[in-house]
Amino acid sequence: MKFNLKYIRTLMLLITMSFYGCVEDFLERYPLDAMTDATYFTSANDLKVMANGFYRLFPRYHFQSQGNGPLNNNLDANTDIQVGTGPSGFLFQRGASGQAPPTDGSWNGNFTWIRQVNYMINNARRVDVSVESNQYTGEAYFFRAWVYLNMLERYGDVPIYTEVLDTDSEALYRERDSRYDVAKFIIQDLDSAIANMGWKNSTFVTPGRVTKEAALVMKARAALFEGTWERYHGAKNTPFAVTGQDGTEFLQMVEPTIQQLIDYQGSNIFRAGGPFNEAYNQLFSQQDAASSAGVFLYRIYDVNEIVGHNFYDLVVDNAQALTWKLVNSYLDKEGVPQELSSLPIDYTRLNSLGENLDPRFRQSVWTPDRGPQQQIPGYGTTPTPLPLRYPQLNNVFSANYTSTGLRRWKGAIMDNNEWRNGSTDEVLIRYAEGLLALAEAKAILGTINQGDLDKTVNLLRERVGMAPMSLAEINSWPISYAIENGFEPSESNIVNEIRRERLVELAFEGHRQNDLKRWAVFHHVINDWKPKGAHFQEFADYYNDPSTLAADGINPDNTGIWALTQGEDYETFSDGYINPFFRNPDFQENGEGYFIEPGRVYLAPIPRNEIEVYADAGYELTQNPGWF
């Protein structure tokens, strides 16, 4: 039986994590001193038990709604590559006042976790030093960095706490530390984690535990995030710029961090391809990630321990759909931008895209040449097989449909035993992110060479059969990079191509919004944007032809219900591409499209109640730009 995380329940008996109140309530919960007697913090196992509870911090993406966390298939929602069946309220803020909400569970919840981790770190010194105790102490530093990085990305400046405070501590009302200092603190914690923890699958790094590799990637993530934030927001003089900083200090941290990882990991990445020989696709559908090369942090699921999921139906038509902007981001399979390609790409046919674009396109986006779904290995005996070669554009079968005609395929779980009862592990941190961080940092600093590309980007391309990236060739391309697509016209070709590579490799893994924000292009990408889907005609050819539907297994008596009616099931733009939001006037051909406020959207507001609590105590907690 696969290793499980049932140890998490043990900590539930030791600490209470039910706090979601204001700062005044921050320290009023289960008394931590109940664990400070001579019977606790006397062994490495005591550290392990407490560290186990921090694993609840990791998201449970495999769960489906019902309050169980976000779906794995909507991690890039609220960006330009993924949309629902209607406009996102987060991206449609025209006329919004900018008033901060009174409360914010994220602000309070994160400080709850920080207090718990601080308690463990401050008491870990009581345990004799050993390889085992070091592992769990290192995990505590990792988790504190995890929480603070989440807060840095969301709020920017936040107070740094390293001690466990009492309710009457003056330090409770500490001013927000600068984002520069917060980032340095995160790096410091990750250095401690790296120094203490072992490599994946080494002694005491049992399946599912945090690894040295994961901490190295996290350090690169934090350094790249803050380095590029300082560089681009500073260069553009946005309200979010960091005075006196240009990002170089953090960007220079990335290479030695990832080089340490490369020295250990080398070219060892996941290559087994499952039933379709598609390694990139199937990396995310391995039941036991302990043996998946290049997966450094993952959440374990095991239905035998009542920790399963119902994510088998990832590729069933879903309210979260992919956009044509994503499709346009792929190079052709020869490694050339589509606008320079000499290949016979037919944009009206999804199969042509699959044949001519980067192989990761076909391993990420459904193409109809895979056949009706019930004919796919592993999909034939589901309780509700859908014999549909194309995604639904109406909701005759269920409440959900794929509004753009572009259905996700990446990570499809092809195992009948997983239906509503899944044990497939959830990938959280992997090698590719670290490799791309190195490439991006060196490209920005102007120090990248072909050898750097070969050990990063080209390692990732090689395992899918994609043409390698050539630095000399890229620099010779006569191409303009549009800021509306997330590029930076003032940067070199190689910097922009690394951005493209990052989008393609990490699509649907939840990085896109933070990337657009740290590059200071989020509002350029979103404002006035009206999402497009696939070219409509091939959907009409399929759904409006009863003989084609019948040949794919649909009951001839029911083929008529699938027919598409203009104005009811679909509308297109004048170029023939699907308009997923055609019912909303703002997203029709001449509509205004999306709008986010450039002066505030890059950071979340500090909850008003927190500011008022500070003021009542005679202190000041400042608000983020654009909010009140």
DSSP letters spanning 274-310: GGGT-HHHHGGG-S-GGG-TTEEEEE--BGGGTB-B-
Give yes or no for residue 21 having a pLDDT over 50: no
Lowest mean pLDDT of 55-69, 386-400, 568-582, name the range.
Answer: 55-69
The 10 Å CB-count burial string (b at 16+, else e) for 458-489 is: bbbbebbebbebebeebeeeeeebeeebbbbe
Task: Return the higher-pLDDT residue of 413 and 296.
Answer: 296
Range with the poorest average pLDDT among 175-179, 221-225, 555-559, 622-626: 555-559
Statement: residue 23 has pLDDT above 50:
no
What is the per-residue pLDDT across 228-276, written as a single tens digit (0 to 9) for each? 999 999 999 999 999 999 999 999 999 999 999 999 999 999 997 777 7
Find the mean pLDDT for residues 87-96.
94
pLDDT at 2 over 60: no
The topology (CATH level 3) of 1-59+105-197 is: 1.25.40
| Alpha carbons 93 and 503: distance in angstroms, whole number | 25
pLDDT of amino acid 65: 41
Q: Average pLDDT for residues 198-202, to the nearest whole number?
A: 97
321-322/82-83 β-pairing? antiparallel
Question: What Cα–Cα distance (Å) separates residue 367 from each residue in 197, 271, 333, 363?
Answer: 43, 22, 16, 9
Of 7-21, 65-79, 178-192, give the range with the top mean pLDDT: 178-192
Is residue 11 pLDDT above 80, yes or no? no
Sign of the C-alpha dihedral computed for residues 322, 324, 328 and 329 taken in this order: negative
